[in-house]
Amino acid sequence: MKFFHCGFGCCSSGSTAIKERNRAGVQYNENYRIFSSHELGIATDNFSSHNQIGEGGFGVVYKGWFQGSSLAVKVLSVEIESMHGEREFISELAALANIRHENLVRLKGCCVDGAKRYLVYDYMENNSLAHTLLGQEQNRMNFSWEARRNISVGVARGIAYLHEEIEPRIVHRDIKASNILLDENLTPKVADFGLSRLLGENSSHVTTRVAGTLGYLAPEYAVSGHVTRKSDVYGFGVLLLEIISGRSAVDFDLEHGEHFLVQKAWEAYERNNLLQILDPTLNMNFPAEEALQFLMVGLLCVQEFVKLRPRMSVVVRMLTNETDISNVQISPPGLLPDLMNIRTLQNSVSQTTSSPASTIISPPSTAYFS
């Protein structure tokens, strides 16, 4: 499938052309609606705080109601000097305007009004994986092994679609628990394409400023600024370990400081006791062989050597037992413990290159569309 980006002007509520089309009752784009800021204000009760369902580095998300259906409205404010907000708005439109997949969040429409940018999505009744699964033990108890399996496979299929089934390919760049939304049936939807990048037909990577979330960030990308589809594979591997273990990518306690899930999983694997990190709230209600297989796939995805990480279509086959991994050899994971290490390594790289990558890295978050 090929798709094209219309440019943000097509979403302007002040555009005469748009007004004429709306009066005629004709959609400007058959895949999404052009909203006015007035419509979105009414839908969200003037963006009332009691309708706020999430907040992240690039915007605030509100629940709204429009023509009898619930929706989620993401509000981005454009910073003139840095153009933060504008880049994210355009990236989301470029990625989502003309694609549809069961495991990708659906863009319902957009709007431009002054320095405000609005993106409208289907509302997800069960918020994000970070909000619903991770954290409190009571939350985790609501997720059976079957639910976790289906969520893991669904996310893998969504990313595989972005990487291999459309043209140009899309690298998400911020695969993490708070960017996986769950509908009323716990069907996962990959969301928040504000950092996504398009890969041309003959491109293997894109060089860009480093952005993402500590704990999910592929080390080679953090150091070089070269983002590839294997960067997303790394993020998915961390996410898969989170789903199966019920633990966050990065934990912190006063006595021992930060704990990284990838490191814990690798240490358990080396002791031949990988099932030790399985979520105890499952109460042994899981098929041990399949659980071990999922954890091994997670470790395969976070291997330090990029070429050893499987493509996402292969990951799907592994998770659905179409590819046997019982005898596969797993090499040590890539680890990037802290932001200071990133900056040190970047400075080292910058001595041999003319344009070192800048860094915009978020701490792990539980925000809806963070």
Catalytic-role residue among 113, 122, 174, 279:
174
Distance between CA atoms of residues 52 and 18, nearest Å: 28
Q: What is the 3-state secondary structure (H, E, C) of 291-321?
A: HHHHHHHHHHHCECCHHHCCCHHHHHHHHCC
**74 belongs to an annotated ligand binding site:** yes
Tell the burial category of 28 from Cβ atoms under 10 Å away from its Cβ (0-12, 13-18, 19+). middle
In a 3-state reduction of DSSP, which class is residue 283?
coil
Residue 44: closest CA among 121, 112, 103:
121
Residue 279 among the catalytic residues: no
CA dist., res. 172 & res. 159, Å (int)? 8
Rounded to an integer, what distance in angstroms lies between the CA atom of residue 351 and that of residue 319? Answer: 42
- Supply angle C-alpha 134, 139, 140, rounded to 5: 65
Q: Which residues of 269-284 are buried (b: 16+ CB within 10 A; e: fewer)?
A: beeeebeebbbeebee
Give how far Cα 217 sits from Cα of 71, 249, 275, 338, Å: 30, 10, 24, 10
Strands 69-77 and 59-66, sheet pairing: antiparallel
Catalytic positions: 174
Annotation: binding site? 74
Annotation: binding site for ATP? 74
